[in-house]
Amino acid sequence: MSTAGETPATGRPRSETARQAVLHAVDNMLVEQGYAAMTMKGIAERAGVGKQTVYRWWSSKAEILHEAATLDASHELASPAAADSPSDLAAYAETLVTFLTTSHAGLAYRALVGEAQHDPKVAELISASDLVKPSARAVIQRAVERGDLPASTDMEDAIAELVGPILYLVLRNAPARSRGHWRRYAQRFLDGRRS
Amino acid sequence: MSTAGETPATGRPRSETARQAVLHAVDNMLVEQGYAAMTMKGIAERAGVGKQTVYRWWSSKAEILHEAATLDASHELASPAAADSPSDLAAYAETLVTFLTTSHAGLAYRALVGEAQHDPKVAELISASDLVKPSARAVIQRAVERGDLPASTDMEDAIAELVGPILYLVLRNAPARSRGHWRRYAQRFLDGRRS
Amino acid sequence: MSTAGETPATGRPRSETARQAVLHAVDNMLVEQGYAAMTMKGIAERAGVGKQTVYRWWSSKAEILHEAATLDASHELASPAAADSPSDLAAYAETLVTFLTTSHAGLAYRALVGEAQHDPKVAELISASDLVKPSARAVIQRAVERGDLPASTDMEDAIAELVGPILYLVLRNAPARSRGHWRRYAQRFLDGRRS
Amino acid sequence: MSTAGETPATGRPRSETARQAVLHAVDNMLVEQGYAAMTMKGIAERAGVGKQTVYRWWSSKAEILHEAATLDASHELASPAAADSPSDLAAYAETLVTFLTTSHAGLAYRALVGEAQHDPKVAELISASDLVKPSARAVIQRAVERGDLPASTDMEDAIAELVGPILYLVLRNAPARSRGHWRRYAQRFLDGRRS
DNA sequence: AAGTAAACGAGACGGTACGTCCTGTCTTTAG
DNA sequence: CTAAAGACAGGACGTACCGTCTCGTTTACTT
């Protein structure tokens, strides 16, 4: 990871230019070539940066991708509160699908979830700082506060049941669903959890 | 893929011994070393087989893994019909979790789902012959026939909503849930789809 | 080293084409670029060969160079016996100078002698199979047999005293000496060892 | 090279401490690790000096080594005039062998002679300021003045014939020779050059 | 005393070669 | 014609050095 906690007292400071170049390179290469075709060597060349500079700040392409995606994700997943809980949840579902299927950060997220199945380090990375969870937690929290979900709702389970089916479809490249579909999806989610 | 259409008229026949050796090697290596550390060369050596022999019958380690997993999966995911739908669904959820977290084939399935995010060929492979879907379809079908789910139930959506949350938890290495949890999970699933 | 002692019973045999391509590449690159600028990567590319193939048969550029030079050296250093010992020794001195200053193999020999000062492995290599020594030994032996040098002559010392000054001049890029110079040089060598 | 021509009018002056630290570091590292293992970075760290400081005053490790060796060489190669020319020459030969095989500066000299075969800049360096030549010239000059060598003796050739065989043996790590050997060696040198 | 300017230690920078590993193909002998 | 064995061309891996370039700091000489 590139976030340096303490500032080193001495030596040439890290080049922010190089950092940005790497993050942009990774972002673009993911879309153009896909995760598997990306290499540390290729990233360095694309960014116009030495390989050592990349390794100095990130230990794998997954880590770079995670940082690049995190920067955009919170902004892209922001779902403003709607009038009522069904609308709120349905809007969030649509936002999430759009994020996962069209956004650069969303593609990165899917690649990272995939990679996490092969590499425990990546699994730890996304579990320590999941891009999607916070937004899902927020929308469920709103429903609880409105009284549309019981106060006893287990947050982890609720997130899994809200996000899981969406991720399942997206990871399998299922065809897009209609707006009405997500409206009914939100309703089922609420109905199943009515006390 | 290993399915040979017509039998070649002449020459030395394909060695079934070699095929079995490869499938067993892949199975064991996945558990011992993980997906990423497996290589075609390593598989061949472990199986006591030439590299060319592996390439002759499968085009990637994903394909070998898929075949190895498919053999076991249907048997391991068989969930006998229980007395009522909630019990049936809860039992299936538990079986699926056990499969995905402890079985060799289940680990292979997770590795393949991960790989599918990087490689379209693998995505096609698992979508053409998903190990889990048939079992989920069967248990949902039983609920429809019992009248506990409406006849109009969309099967693809229902599978996604039943399996999605489970896969979401498992892919993130979430801690095991209790039997009661899955009982309530099944109930929420049915309640959301009532009326 | 590339000399395989025992023949392996199985597998694809070594490609003689690749071996020749590497040896030629090294030969040409030494002249064009110099020893320091030659790299294993560059040799492989120039030879149209994989890096692994190079490492499979030689462990360093010095070893390749040694093999390439050895092939040519004995032929190029062959000095036919002259009428008398002074002429014989003078002719050999001239041949040796020409070899060391103009021949590809001679340039390689100088590079190897240089490298041997930094790398004990190279030192061992050239001491185990020196390109120059055999030819010097032969010409001194002839002088002994003619009775122009005492039978008690220590061969190692005589070689050092015959070849050393020549090598000293060549390694320092001293200007070329005349034919008469080498004639007098041979005479001094014989005179110093008379009686 | 470190000899600064004109003194800059202003700014912090060069640190003599740093210069000495670098020269000592190089001296020790050569003995401990060998020429090939020495790096500019390693030298700087060993000397407790910044890399830039090293590059400011020397352009390569060969140059540092040359300066370090030059400081000691003239002192170590000083060979006091003996009673007669054979003794004088024999003593010098022994001194030279000892220098080349045991002294730090002698090891440095051998490393530089080796490097000169790969790098023309180093070749120029040692030919412009050879550590050994002056001492050899002095001892030969004494023999001429004593009348034991003809006045017409070509100095360059004589140096080559006196030093060449010694260097040849040393560069090949030949076993040490006895005192009697060098006595006879000196005699042969004189006999060969008697008019 | 304040200002100027170069040298200082430190270490990141863009590059490039290292030697190893793996890929998918090819070439041998054995069955 | 398949099998095991293993060499082939190619290319990415992560590491190490190269020589250059900033940093903040230090140290002498100039006003």
> What CATH number is given to the structural domain containing C138?
1.10.357.10
- What's the CA B52/C1' E25 distance, rounded, in angstroms? 9
Q: CB–CB of A113 and B114 under 8 A?
A: yes
Percent of chain D topping pLDDT 90: 87
Based on the fold, state whether residues C79 and C159 are members of the same structural domain.
yes
In the 8-state DSSP scheme, what is residue A41? H
Quote the strand ranges of chain A, DSSP E: none
Only one residue has tokens 């960014």, namely A47
Q: Could you say which of D126, D167, D193 has the minimum Cβ distance to residue C188?
A: D193
Q: Which of D114, D160, D189 is the closest to C117 by Cβ?
A: D114
Q: Do A34 and B118 touch (CB under 8 A)?
A: yes
Q: Tell me the C-alpha distance between C63 and C65, whole Å.
A: 5
pLDDT at residue D53 above 50? yes
Residues A76 and A26 in one domain: no
Task: Tell me what pLDDT residue D2 has.
Answer: 46
Look at residue B11 and tell me if it is in a domain: no
Give the model confidence (pLDDT) of C116-160 as tens digits.
999 999 999 999 999 999 999 999 999 999 999 999 999 999 999
Are chains A and B touching, using the cut-off of 8 Å on CB pairs and a minimum of 3 such pairs?
yes
* pLDDT at residue D195 greater than cutoff 90: no
Q: Are residues B140 and B108 in the same domain?
A: yes
CA D112 to CA C172: how far, in whole Å?
12
For B36, the domain range is 16-58
User: Contact, D113 vs C118, CB < 8 A?
Assistant: no
The answer to whether residues D40 and D53 touch, using CB atoms and an 8 Å cutoff, is no
What burial class does residue B141 get, using C-beta atoms within 10 Å of its C-beta: 0-12 exposed, 13-18 middle, 19+ buried?
middle
Q: How many CB atoms sit inside 10 A of residue A86's CB?
A: 20
Integer CA distances (angstroms), D116 to C114, C117, C173, in order: 7, 11, 10
* C-alpha distances in Å from residue C78, one per residue of C137, C140, D133: 12, 13, 33
Is residue A9 a part of any domain in this protein? no
| CB proximity list for C89: less than 8 A, separation 6 or greater | C139, C143, C162, C185, C186, C189, C190
Quick one: tokens of D98?
Answer: 């000892």
Q: Which residues of B6-45 are buried (b: 16+ CB within 10 A; e: fewer)?
A: eeeeeeeeeeeebbebbbebbbebbeeeebeebeeeebbe
Cα distance between residue C163 and residue C130, in whole Å:
12
B95 and B118 inside one domain: yes
Residue C5 lies in a domain: no
Give the distance, in angstroms, between the CA of residue C40 and the centroid of all CA atoms in the same chain: 22
Contact C118 D127 (CB under 8 A): no
User: Which string of DSSP letters, residue by residue, matches D92-142?
Assistant: HHHHHHHHHHH-HHHHHHHHHHHHHTT-HHHHHHHHHS-SSHHHHHHHHHH
Is residue C4 included in any domain, yes or no? no
CB contact under 8 A, B116 and A119: no
The mean pLDDT of C55-83, rounded to a whole number, is 93
Task: Write down the pLDDT at residue B182.
Answer: 98
Contact D36 C194 (CB under 8 A): no
Contact present, A51 and A86 (Cβ < 8 Å): no
Chain C residues within 8 angstroms (CB to CB) of chain D: 34-36, 110-111, 113-119, 123, 126-127, 156-157, 160-161, 163-169, 171-174, 181, 185, 187-194
**What does the alpha-carbon distance between residue D96 and residue C9 come to, in Å, rounded to a whole number?**
54
Residue A193 to residue B188, Cβ atoms within 8 A: yes
Residues 14-73 of A with CB under 7 A from strand E: 14-15, 17-19, 21, 44, 48-53, 56-57
Does any domain span residue C64? Answer: no
Q: Give the CA D10 to C1' F31 distance in Å.
A: 12
Would you call A172 and B115 a contact, using CB atoms and an 8 Å cutoff? no
- For residues D137-144, give the mean pLDDT: 97
Q: What is the largest CA-CA distance in chain B?
A: 64
Tokens read off for A175: 């065809």
- In this predicted structure, what is the pLDDT of residue C88? 97
Residues in Cβ contact with A7 at an 8 Å cutoff, skipping those fewer than 6 apart:
none
Which bases of strand E sit closer than 7 A to a protein CB?
A: 4-31
Task: With beta carbons under 8 A apart, name residues in chain D contacting C160.
Answer: 165, 168-169, 174
**Same structural domain, C129 and C180:** yes
Query: Token digits for A178?
Result: 């209609």
Task: State the Cα–Cα distance between residues A168 and A100, nearest whole angstrom.
Answer: 11
Please provide the distance, in angstroms rounded to a whole number, between the alpha carbons at the two ends of chain A.
44
Minimum-distance residue to E21 (CA–C1'): C52
Q: Output the CA–CA distances (angstroms, integers) from residue C16 to C13, C75, D190, in the order listed.
A: 9, 22, 53
Task: Give me the pLDDT at residue B74, please.
Answer: 82
On whether residue B35 sits in a domain, the answer given is yes
Using the CA of A39, give the nucleotide whose C1' is nearest: F12
Q: Which residues of chain D lie closer than 8 angstroms to C183, CB-CB?
A: none
Task: Count structural domains, chain B.
Answer: 2
D177 in any annotated domain = yes
Is pLDDT above 90 for B12? no
Is A168 in contact with B163 (Cβ distance < 8 A)?
A: yes
A82, A27: one domain: no
pLDDT in the model for residue A4: 45
In the Cβ-directed half-sphere of B19, how many Cα atoms lie within 13 Å?
Answer: 14
What is the pLDDT, as a whole number, of residue C10? 86
Which of A21-35, A139-153, C148-162, D71-85 bottoms out in mean pLDDT, i.e. has the lowest? Answer: D71-85
| CA of residue B171 to C1' of nucleotide E12, angstroms | 38
Q: Which nucleotide is nearest to B18 (CA to C1')?
A: F3
Verify that D114 and D45 share a domain, yes or no: no
Shared-domain flag, residues A84 and A180: yes
d(CA A56, CA A53): 5
Residue D2 lies in a domain: no
Average pLDDT for A127-153: 96
Judged by C1' against the alpha carbon of D38, the nearest nucleotide is F17
Region for residue B142 given its phi and psi (left: phi exceeds 0; alpha: psi -120 to 50; beta: otherwise): alpha
In angstroms, the CA A168 to CA B172 distance is 13
Q: Is there a single domain that holds both residue C91 and residue C139?
A: yes
Residues A86 and A168 in one domain: yes
The per-residue pLDDT for C195 is 61
Q: Indicate which CATH number applies to the domain containing B35.
A: 1.10.10.60
Considering only alpha carbons, which residue of chain B is nearest residue A36? B118
Closest-approach residue (CA) in chain C for D173: C123
Same structural domain, D154 and D81: yes
The alpha carbon of residue C139 is apart from the nearest alpha carbon of chain D, in Å, by 17
DSSP single-letter state for residue A5 = S
Alpha helix locations (H) across chain D?
Answer: 16-33, 40-47, 51-57, 61-77, 85-102, 104-116, 120-128, 133-146, 155-171, 179-192
